[in-house]
Amino acid sequence: MIDVILRRFEEPDEVRELELGRFEVVRIGGLTIGRATYQPGWKWSEHVPSEEPLCTVEHVGLVLRGSATAAFPDGRVVELRPGDLFHIPPEPHDSWVVGDEPYVSLHFLGADRYATDGHRGVT
């Protein structure tokens, strides 16, 4: 008999509360998947406590709702919009919500280290 496992973010394994946001973690099938929800005004460098000034976690994800940026020290700023699949390399970057709608994204890579002690991230 094959076991099928169903999970929902309404019952996460872990919730990482952030100022103006939260990051919910579900572990399933050997993967750690995260759901980021950030309110308007949220900015990684201001609202995620860390010893590092910028996030260095690699991210692969999907934007579900709202818009946010990935901003790099060299001046590159990329806007992430609903439906975008994204890969953000493990280069230092900041991020913030764009507009007045909450931003929601799924994270398929990096969720295990994002917004944990010693690391912080966005997207």
Task: Note the pLDDT tens digit of each residue in 52-98.
Answer: 889 999 999 999 999 999 999 999 999 999 999 999 999 999 999 99
Q: For position 117, what pLDDT does the model report?
A: 61
Residue 97 domain flag: yes
Q: For position 115, what pLDDT does the model report?
A: 78
Residue 57 domain flag: yes
- Distance between CA atoms of 80 and 70, rounded to whole angstroms? 8
Structural domain tally of the chain?
1
Residue 7 domain flag: no
For residue 81, CA distances in Å to 7, 13, 53, 67, 111 come to 25, 27, 25, 5, 19
Residue 116 domain flag: no
pTM: 0.90
Residue 89 near residue 111, CB atoms below 8 Å? no
Which amino acid is it at 9?
F
Q: For position 119, what pLDDT does the model report?
A: 47
Domain span at residue 100 reads 14-109
Task: Note the pLDDT tens digit of each residue in 7-53.
Answer: 999 999 999 999 999 999 999 999 999 999 999 999 999 988 777 88
Looking at the DSSP assignment, which residues form a beta bridge with residue 123? none
* Class of residue 69 by CB neighbours under 10 A (exposed 0-12, middle 13-18, buried 19+): buried
Residue 87 domain flag: yes
Residue 43 domain flag: yes
Residue 5 domain flag: no
CATH no. for residue 68? 2.60.120.10
Residue 121 domain flag: no
